Amino acid sequence: MDTGKQEASRQTKIIVGLILAVWALVTIAPFLWMILSSFKSNAEISQMSQSILPHHWTLQNYKDLFISGNFGVYLKNTLIITGFSFIGLLLNAMAGYGFAKFKFKGRGVLFIAVLATMMIPGQVTMIPVYLILNQAHLTNTLTGIILPSLVGAFSIFLFRQFMSNISDSIIEAARLDGASEWYIFWHIILPISKPVLAVQGILTFIGGWNSFLWPLIIANDQKYYTLSVGLQLLQGQHTSDYGLQMAGSSFMVIPIVIIFLIFQKYILQGFNIQAEK
Amino acid sequence: MGKEKLKKYIPYTFIFPALLLLLVFSLIPILVALVISFTGLDITGLGNWSTVKFTGLTNYIQLFNDPTFLQSIGNTIFYVVLGVPLVVFLSLTVAVMINLSQNKFFKTMRLLFYTPSITNTVAVAVVWSYIYNPSLGLLNEILGKIGIAPIGWLTDPNVAKISLIILAVWKAIGLNMLIFLAALQGIPRSLYEAAELDGANFWQQTLHITIPSMRFSIFFVTVTTIIGWFQFFDEPFVMTKGGPLNSTNSMALFVYQNGFQNSNFGYAAAGSFVMFAVIIIATLIQFKLQRKQRGEE
């Protein structure tokens, strides 16, 4: 009787596993096709019927990205923007700590104002932010690209959630020892907050690496383009050169997948935190 | 005494930089957008503010007589009505299936399904444009092998919307699956043990224990997905530019095109407020339904 039940559940598991495997294969098929096509020559890719694997593996598409495609500049800009977004991460952490561990006048109202910004769709602020940056002569500069998305309400909210759970007695003890508030933040709060910093750090990296809309709006000059904007330009300019397009896409997708695989443990934990609170 | 006074300001130094940025780039812009939506601000107005005229409700009236805008509302509703149930249903299905076991195979599946969510929309859209290509694309090649005539995935006005939805659903499953998985793992084992004693099989357990216990996360995913789909932008922007014949244009893309391609800032701002209003109404309806459902229990 008991074994019969287990048998049934194993059978269910195998069937479900098979369905999942097929579904997962369909899910990642576009990526596999992208990577394989990026190593095909343009002549091979323009044939009506293609084999899955390239006949002659070539790196020419990747070389072209940097020689004629300007991807070196785009990469540099993307890395600069991503680097600066970590300053934004620090500002979010500071604000989260301020809201979590201090009592001050206006705390409730200010925190609600922060949360309210989460509801505003990007399309509503897109035009006025552009006008504000234009008045400040920051359009077509890296500063103008970086500033609008530097801080985020959701990130502040998550930092506050995590830091509220840090025991007050640790902070009080440090204060009695004469530590300054900033010393406490840097040397006690941030080290304790490692789990949430890890999650937020990865999400910040992904966000910076993928940033598209602000660079697209603010940068008129190709020398300020990010990888996403450059890739979109490439698609417009080399409409039928799919080998080159697939190389550009692979160049954007593969680093993120590698980083995700390294840090996946933290990201998946991060969603547990978010869903439970 | 002076030191005590200084201490009062310390909390503000922690929150000030972030708040200032949110104020300048989120809260003030809302007011600016509201004001310019009642003006005829365009590219000349940008150079010389004195030429900007207050036009009252003209922009809003014009919007509702603009066939392109009305079509983009219709398209957006189509995206939401078809896309949201698909995303919720499919990500819940994947989550329930993956939750069946904790072994390595199922953990690997979780990774594979999540991958599309973290990758860049532009890169993904470029790849899918290639897959959707009528003559060179993978999809029509496979269809051709089983004897189906080529489909104009992005060139046929009747099909293009659905092609974009397929891509967006593919991309959205991973993230929502993780939210559902986290919720699934929070359901007490004892509920299942009791059901097993009563002889309930896997499907009965799913229907009578799993789904009811997940009501909140289903609600959360539904609301965030609806809001996201009302702002559908990247996919039509990169893949179709709103075409063919405006059949894939969304409200968000309409705002972008009018604001940054035609430089009709006032008109675009009015469009963005209509969009904002639609999102708020849809969200309020969701909350009402949720409350009603709770009341019935």
The reply to whether B6 falls in a domain is no
Per-residue pLDDT at A209 exceeds 50: yes
| Model pLDDT for residues A103-137, shown as the tens digit of each residue | 988 899 999 999 888 888 888 999 999 999 998 99
Shortest Cα distance from B161 to chain A (angstroms)? 19
Residue holding tokens 């006048």? A105
Residue contact A123–B231, C-beta within 8 A: yes
- For residue B190, give both structure tokens: 């004892």
Residue with tokens 């002569």: A137
CATH code: domain A69-237 is 1.10.3720.10
The ipTM (two decimal places) reads 0.85
Residue A84 with chain B: CB contacts under 8 Å: none
CATH number, residue B85? 1.10.3720.10
Residue numbers of A between 120 and 179 with CB closer than 8 Å to B: 120-132, 134, 147-151, 153, 156
Residue B124: list chain A partners with CB under 8 A: 30, 249, 253
- B-facing residues of A in 51-90 (CB < 8 A) are none
pLDDT at B1: 45
- Measured N-to-C along each axis, helices B121-131 and A2-38 cross at an angle, to the nearest 10 degrees, of 90
B101 → chain A, closest CA residue: A13
- From the CB of residue A26, how many other CB atoms can be counted at a distance below 10 Å? 10
**pLDDT at res. B69:** 95
* DSSP 8-state class, residue B64: T
Closest in A16, A94, A242 to B100, CB measured: A16
> In this complex, do A30 and B124 lie within 8 Å of one another by their Cβ atoms?
yes
| Residue A277 pLDDT | 38
Residue A274 in this model has a pLDDT that exceeds 70: no
Q: Where are the alpha helices (DSSP H) in A151-241?
A: 153-164, 168-176, 181-184, 190-192, 194-210, 213-218, 227-237
pLDDT at A161 over 70: yes
Is B47 inside any structural domain?
A: no
Q: To the nearest whole angstrom, how far is the Cα of A175 from the nearest Cα of chain B?
A: 12
Contacts of A150 in chain B (CB under 8 A): 21
User: Are residues A242 and B133, on separate chains, in Cβ contact within 8 Å?
Assistant: yes
Separation of alpha carbons A179 and A192, rounded Å: 17
Q: Mean pLDDT check: name the lowest of A146-155, A173-182, A232-241, B160-169.
A: A232-241
Sign of CA dihedral B279, B282, B283, B284: positive
B contact test, residue of A97, A123, A139 with most B CBs within 10 A: A123
Which domain range does residue B131 map to?
A: 67-296
Q: What is the DSSP secondary structure assignment for residue B51, as one 8-state letter?
A: G
Q: Given A45, A110, A229, which is nearest B19 (Cβ)?
A: A110
CB pairs < 8 Å spanning A and B: 251
> For the segment B169-219, what is each residue's pLDDT rounded down to a tens digit?
999 999 899 889 888 888 888 888 888 888 888 778 888 888 888 888 899
Rounded CA-CA distance A246/A234 in Å is 11
Beta-carbon-side half-sphere exposure of residue B272 (alpha carbons within 13 Å)? 33
B95 occurs within a structural domain: yes
Angle between helices A227-237 and A71-101 (to 10 degrees): 140
> Is A123's CB within 8 Å of B256's CB?
yes
Determine which of A124, A154, A242 to mutate to test the interface with B (most B C-beta atoms within 10 Å): A124
Contact: B12, A132; criterion CB under 8 Å: no
Cα–Cα nearest to B235, from B281, B151, B172: B172
CB contact under 8 A, B255 and A246: no
**Which chain A residues touch B172 with a CB distance below 8 Å?**
none
Report the gap between the CA of B150 and the closest CA in chain A (Å).
Answer: 13
Cβ atoms of B150 and B235 closer than 8 Å? no
Low-confidence ranges of chain B (pLDDT < 50): 1
Candidate from B15, B105, B115 with C-beta closest to A110? B15
Among the ranges given (A47-51, A141-145, B182-186), the one the predictor scored with the smallest mean pLDDT: A47-51
**A124/B275 Cβ within 8 A:** yes
Lowest mean pLDDT among A48-57, A82-91, B280-289: A48-57
Instruction: Report yes or no on B4 lying in a domain.
Output: no
B75 in any annotated domain: yes
The pair of structure tokens assigned to B68 is 């392109």
**Spatial CB neighbours of B290, under 8 Å, sequence gap ≥ 6:** B219
Q: Please report whether residue B215 resides in a domain.
A: yes
Please calculate the CA angle A54-A240-A235 and round it to the nearest 5 degrees: 105
Q: Nearest by CB to A125, from B26, B179, B256: name it.
A: B26
**Helix axis angle, A107-116 relative to B2-22, nearest 10°?**
10
| Among candidates A130, A156, A185 on the partner chain, residue whose Cβ is nearest the Cβ of B18 | A156
- Asked if A109 is an interface residue toward chain B (Cβ–Cβ < 8 A), one would say no
Q: In whole angstroms, what is the distance from residue A149 CA to residue A132 CA?
A: 14
Query: Which of chain B's residues have a Cβ under 8 Å away from the Cβ of A276?
Result: 182, 186
B268, two tokens: 């675009």
> Is the residue at B51 inside a domain?
no
The predicted structure's pLDDT at residue A52: 78
- Check if the beta carbon of residue B92 is closer than 8 Å to that of residue B84: no
B120 and A99 within 8 Å at the Cβ level: the answer is no
What was the pLDDT predicted at B3? 61
Our count of domains for chain B comes to: 1
CB of A44 within 8 Å of any CB in chain B?
no
Distance between CA atoms of A210 and A78, rounded to whole angstroms? 8
Question: Residue A259: its pLDDT value, please?
Answer: 87
CA distance B95 to B100: 9
Asked whether the beta carbons of residue B170 and residue A27 sit closer than 8 angstroms, the reply is yes
Residue B60 lies in a domain: no
Q: Do A153 and B109 touch (CB under 8 A)?
A: no
Cβ–Cβ gap A30/B128 under 8 Å? yes
Specify the pLDDT at position A230. 92
Residue A220 sits at the chain B interface (C-beta within 8 Å):
no
pLDDT value, residue A7: 47
Is-contact B30 B36, C-beta < 8 A? no
B42 three-state secondary structure: coil
